[in-house]
Amino acid sequence: MTILVIAEHDNKVVAPSTLNTVAAAAKIGGDIHVLVAGQGSAAVAEAAAKIAGVSKVLLADNAAYAHQLPENVAPLIAELGAGYSHILAAATSNGKNILPRVAAQLDVDQISEIVSVESADTFKRPIYAGNAIATVQSTASVKVITVRATGFDPVAAEGGSAAVEAVAAAHDAGTSSFVGEELAKSDRPELTAAKIVVSGGRGMQNGDNFKHLYALADKLGAAVGASRAAVDAGFVPNDMQVGQTGKIVAPQLYIAVGISGAIQHLAGMKDSKVIVAINKDEEAPIFQVADYGLVADLFEAVPELEKLV
């Protein structure tokens, strides 16, 4: 069995979610190859070669793959991946965008967002916003799978010494082109990788009040997240959203401030190790999943918390 892992990267560095995906591949067992598709991404391939457990790195360096447009990258992965037993990618916006296109090209069903490996052909994944866990078995010759990063502890980024092999194949479908991107700037840790996450909801009342959460987060070395209500109300940008339709996080500590705890929000954070809820509504559903609940006005509790930690 040989497993192909699609590296998540920005042409400069390997994203941490790649390490979680390699960890899932290691659980399946077999040789692990990593594909780096991009432009000017030799440094990424070198970093991928050092990941523990990786035996080969394939580098497809071509202008057509610069922004990893699925129309161009999917045929590359389908062509290379046909000889593998499994193709794995992290369930990031990029992985979710590309992999189903690969699966359809290979004429196999995909298994999305696995959280555990039961055997080489059987996997567990959450459905219905995490309210049920399905065990799915695949008879496909090539198993195409996206991996929920928070379900697997990352492998070491150092220690491996895989060979890097260049792939010449160039696919340019010509149906799509990159126009531009706008990335939110932040000095805080990345939401999905942070050990502590502080999140605000509608109870924050406005965007300006998020400064209380930023102050607390900076003291804890935490990332700041938000509920859909806070994003829809325009308090914060949408890449901060935690939930079924936003990001899935599983930090050591999740502090929910002014968040009621709707099903769609819980789907994004209920695998956190310790959950703290600060809410003035004693009946808020968030208290049903919180390890520690504090019924209090957040505008008094959060500044006090910041002082004490």
Partner 1 sequence: MKVLVAVKRVVDYNVKVRVKADNSGVDLANVKMSMNPFCEIAVEEAVRLKEKGVATEIVVVSIGPATAQEQLRTALALGADRAILVESAEDLTSLAVAKLLKAVVDKEQPQLVILGKQAIDSDNNQTGQMLAALTGYGQGTFASKVEVSGDSVAVTREIDGGAQTVSLKLPAIVTTDLRLNEPRYASLPNIMKAKKKPLESVTPDALGVSTASTNKTVKVEAPAARSAGIKVKSVAELVEKLKNEAKVI
Pick out residues in 81-140 that bind partner 1 (CB under 8 A): 92-94, 96-105, 107-113, 122, 126-140
Residue 165 Cβ vs partner 1, minimum distance, rounded to whole Å: 26
Sites for partner 1 among residues 35-64 (CB under 8 A): none
Please give the torsion angle defined by the CA atoms of residues 205, 210, 212 and 216, in that order, rounded to the nearest 10 degrees: 130
Q: What are phi and psi of 275, to 5 degrees?
A: -115, 130
Is 12 a binding residue for partner 1 by CB under 8 A? The answer is no
Place of tokens 């208290």: 287
- Choose one: 37-45, 80-88, 198-206, 240-248; the region binding partner 1 (CB under 8 A): 240-248
Single residue of 9, 67, 86, 212 touching partner 1 by CB under 8 A: 67
Residue 54 Cβ vs partner 1, minimum distance, rounded to whole Å: 23
Q: β-pairing, 116-119 with 122-127?
A: antiparallel
Is 165 a binding residue for partner 1 by CB under 8 A? The answer is no
186 marked among binding-site residues: no
Sites for partner 1 among residues 220-239 (CB under 8 A): 220, 228, 231-232, 237-239
Q: Which two structure tokens, joined as six digits, stand for 8?
A: 């998540």
Going from the C-alpha of 224 to that of each of 165, 242, 254, 272, 302, the distances in angstroms are 39, 10, 10, 14, 13
Task: List the beta bridge partners of residue 232.
Answer: none
Is 171 a binding residue for partner 1 by CB under 8 A? The answer is no
In whole angstroms, give the CA distance from residue 135 to residue 126.
9
Going from the C-alpha of 96 to that of each of 72, 78, 199, 302, the distances in angstroms are 15, 15, 24, 36
In whole angstroms, give the CA distance from residue 138 to residue 104.
15
Is 4 a binding residue for partner 1 by CB under 8 A? The answer is no
Output 158 or 282, the one with its CB closest to partner 1: 282
Sites for partner 1 among residues 194-223 (CB under 8 A): 196, 220
Residue ranges for the known binding site are 202, 227-228, 241-245, 258-265, 279
Residue ranges for the known binding site for FAD are 202, 227-228, 241-245, 258-265, 279
